[in-house]
Amino acid sequence: MNTLNHVAIIMDGNGRWAKKNSLPRSAGHYKGVEVLRNITIYANRLGIKALTVYAFSTENWKRSAEEVNYIMSLPKIFFSSYIKELMDNNVKINIIGDRERIPAETMKVINDAIEETSRNTGLVLSFAFNYGSRDEIVRACKKYAQDYKEGKVEDLDEESFKSYLYTNDLPEVDLLIRTAGELRVSNFLLYQIAYSEFVVTDTLWPDFTNETLDYCIEQYQGRKRSFGGRDETKNN
Ligand code: IPE
Ligand code: IPE
Ligand code: MG
């Protein structure tokens, strides 16, 4: 069995789901929020320690104001509906990304949820919200340069570099799932997925169920992870 501490998901296909059901794109995002609730509870039940979900990228600002505004209202919908359940399930909320550009009222709702769940010890649900990996890496470099100039740090190595990333406190990403079939990472966790296993499913995010997660984990468990090494006991 491969250990499975951290699952990351690129939740894609909300728009296609809406189109398939002759609904506005917002309905796809709304259904996606419900699915996220289910998957969070289920992943926690499976003993997964960290779930990181791509909810809004630094490139998603290119969408219509109507769609962006709707997505910015989703944290309120998510937390007002599910905070009690998240508390009951010991889930801890976290956010990764550039908080500066997120509207103040959205940030308030997120900060309240982070504060309320801060003492929980179960699964850590991290929202990648206004997240872009290139942005994250550039920020990390700038912060390190500043710390170096101020004499706070010495040399940089892979381990210390990690502490400058948003994912500082999270375990290594074991499994990266992308829904809706696209074979790309779209600026998500570029540094962190160096040795993650990828599973791409054609299932659209709003159609994603516990069984789809089971399928992804089954795929993951079938993989032989060697991290660049060789298994000397097998002739491979
Ligand atoms: C993912 O679904 C959600 C966000 C990117 C915010 P999309 O909205 O990208 O759905 P498709 O790709 O158009 O189907
Ligand atoms: C990736 O999906 C971002 C999120 C899921 C939040 P996109 O739909 O934005 O990615 P592309 O445009 O297909 O690469
Ligand atoms: Mg998409």
Question: What pLDDT, in 10s, does the model give residues 170-188?
Answer: 999 999 999 999 999 999 9
How far apart are alpha carbons 127 and 199 in whole angstroms?
20
The CB of 181 under 6 Å from ligand 2? The reply is no
- Which pair of tokens denotes residue 83? 């905070």
Q: What is the pTM of this model?
A: 0.97
How far apart are alpha carbons 202 and 132 in whole angstroms?
23
Q: Which ligand is nearest to the CA of 178?
A: 2
User: What pLDDT score does 235 carry?
Assistant: 60
Report DSSP state, residue 210.
Answer: H
Atom of ligand 2 nearest to the CA of 11: 5
Asked if the model's pLDDT at residue 231 lies above 90, the reply is no
Question: What pLDDT, in 10s, does the model give residues 45-95?
Answer: 999 999 999 999 999 999 999 999 999 999 999 999 999 999 999 999 999
Determine contact, residues 173/52, Cβ cutoff 8 Å.
yes
Contacts of 143 (CB under 8 A, 6+ apart): 164
Distance from the alpha carbon of residue 39 to the mean position of ligand 3, in angstroms: 19
Helix (H, G, I), strand (E, B) or coil at 96: strand
The CB of 210 under 6 Å from ligand 2? The reply is no
**124 backbone dihedrals φ, ψ, rounded to 5°:** -95, 115
Rounded CA Rg of the chain: 18
How far apart are alpha carbons 176 and 188 in whole angstroms?
10
